[in-house]
Structure 1
Amino acid sequence: MITPRPYATLAGRDAGWLKARLHFRFAGMGKPEYGPVGPLHVWNDDQFAPDSGFPMHGHRDVEIITYVRRGAITHADSLGNRSRIAAGDVQVMSAGDGIVHSEHNHEADPTLLYQIWLTPRTTGGAPSWQTRRFPPADRNGKLIVLASGDAEDQQQGALPLKADARLLVASLRAGDRLTHAVDGDAYLVAVDGSLQVNEEQLAARDGAAITGETMLYLHALEDTEVLLIEAPRKTA
């Protein structure tokens, strides 16, 4: 089953400096049926105004992926890390038993990003942070893994997650078709352009919850980028 979550139906908040749409029900906002998919329970479509951001604040027991779509965000944390994460970069922060961090847009233009939260396999443990640039050409016409809880994916260069999930991306030209086997539940977002997923059509920034499917047939109706979170079935 593929259940679209159109961008226009997503809960939103406008704090002036921050405009956000929520693919999942969070903090009392959003449709009750827009619940978690496996360990995935937050996927926010955020726009930061220039010279704005979140001051230092804390998290624990959550895996947070930041995927920058346009512009850049500057991260700082209580581990001493500081980095400018630009479009094309991916950041993974494992909050563990506690981490404090800030995120600011120090650019002259708005920054667009996705922030994705996953429930870790186990609570506690030492917090950690990593970022990596994935060259855009590597994803042309195919799905590549950006972050994963699977050791084999990590050996191939994926950022490590302490969750039973993997994040993939593909850049498709209009007319491109891509087939992908899925094992377990998944959530897919058309970052831009339009896309057909099996029998469902998604417009730019639409999402879709995927359950009970074994194959995904992607057909790009326009140039588009696709982000996919998979939550593989656990084996006994």
Structure 2
Amino acid sequence: MIDVRRFETLGGADHGWLKARHHFSFADYHDPARMSWGRLRVWNDDEIAAKSGFPPHPHRDMEIITYVRTGAITHQDSLGNQGRTGAGDVQVMSAGTGVRHAEFNLEDELTTLFQIWIETDRPGAAPGWGQREFPKADRSGRFTVVASGDPADGALHINADAKVLAATLKAGESLTYDLSDGRRAYLVPAVGEVDLNGIALNARDGAGIKDEPTVTIRARADAELVMVDSL
């Protein structure tokens, strides 16, 4: 089964400095049919204006992954962590027992990103933050795990039985991914056009995948892919 969520059908909000589209119910957008995809609770497609951002605010017991598409985001939190994450790179925050953080676009250009929330497997764990560069050349033609609950993946750590993966494909290239029994995936092309098991997806469309043992993705145009594999 593949449940396609076209970009133009997504909920959203325009706050001037922030233009957000929500793949699942979030904030003032509520759709009972789009509450989550398994343990994946939030996938927000955000455009943040230059010299603006999210002021300090709290979270707890959620795994929050930020995939920067263009520009950069600068993080600061109540644990004393600070860092800048640029285009193509990833930051993660395990909110755990509670943390306050701010996310600002300090650049002179628009920043675009995906913010992904996955339900934690460890409520009440110590909060934490991490950031890493992931060169696009290293994921050309294949998925690279950028965040995972499995230390063997060598990725940024999250407290969830889930993987966040990224890949780039040239037009005409394809890749396959085996989805284990009982697991789901959610795929979004950040840019480009692809066929997912024969179904056409455009940039920023979402596709929920379950009961599909093998996922085959073929690029109809140069594409950058982000996918979550979770329960």
Same fold (TM > 0.5): yes
Shift of 1:7: 0.2
RMSD between aligned residues: 1.0
Letter in 2 for 1:142: R
**1:113 matched to which residue of 2?**
113
Deviation at 1:200, TM superposition (A): 1.1
Paired amino acid for 1:210: I
Q: 1:38 to 1:7 in 2, by over 3 A?
A: same
The structural deviation recorded for 1:151 is 2.4
| Aligned residue number for residue 197 of structure 1 | 196
Instruction: Give 2:84's aligned residue.
Output: 84
- The CA distance in 2 between the partners of 1:28 and 1:71, in whole Å, is 27
Q: State whether residues 10 and 30 of structure 1, in contact with CA within 8 Å, keep that contact through their aligned partners in structure 2.
A: no
Are 1:3 and 2:3 an aligned pair? yes
Provide the C-alpha distance between the structure 1 equivalents of 2:144 and 2:206, rounded to a whole number of angstroms.
Answer: 19
- State whether residues 176 and 219 of structure 1, in contact with CA within 8 Å, keep that contact through their aligned partners in structure 2: yes
Counterpart amino acid of residue 128 in structure 1: G
CA distance in 2, matches of 1:113, 1:28: 20
Q: Pick the aligned partner of 1:174 from 171, 174, 179.
A: 171
2: CA distance between counterparts of 1:30 and 1:220? 32
* Structure 1: runs of 5 or more not aligned: none
Task: Give a deviation string over 1:111-161, Cα, whole Å, max 9, x none.
Answer: 0001000110121121000000011100101111000011211xxx20011
Letter in 2 for 1:179: T
How far is the alpha carbon of 1:51 from its aligned partner? 0.7
Offset from partner CA, 1:39-95 (integer Å, 9 cap, x none):
111000000001101111110000000110000011000111111111121001000
1:158 corresponds to which residue? Answer: 155
* Secondary structure of 2:147 counterpart: strand
* Alpha-carbon displacement from aligned partner over 1:170-207 (angstroms, at most 9, x marks no partner): 10000001111011111000111100000211011100
Q: Which amino acid aligns with 2:116?
A: I
After TM superposition, the structure 1 stretch with the greater mean CA deviation from structure 2, 158-167 or 32-41, is 32-41
**Matched pairs, number:** 229
Give me the whole-angstrom Cα distance separating, in 2, the residues matched to 1:169 and 1:132. Answer: 13
Are the counterparts in 2 of residues 39 and 164 from structure 1 also a CA contact under 8 Å? no
1:74 aligns with 2:74: yes
Q: Which runs of 4+ in 1 moved over 3 A?
A: none
In structure 2, what is the Cα distance between the partners aligned to 1:208 and 1:28?
22
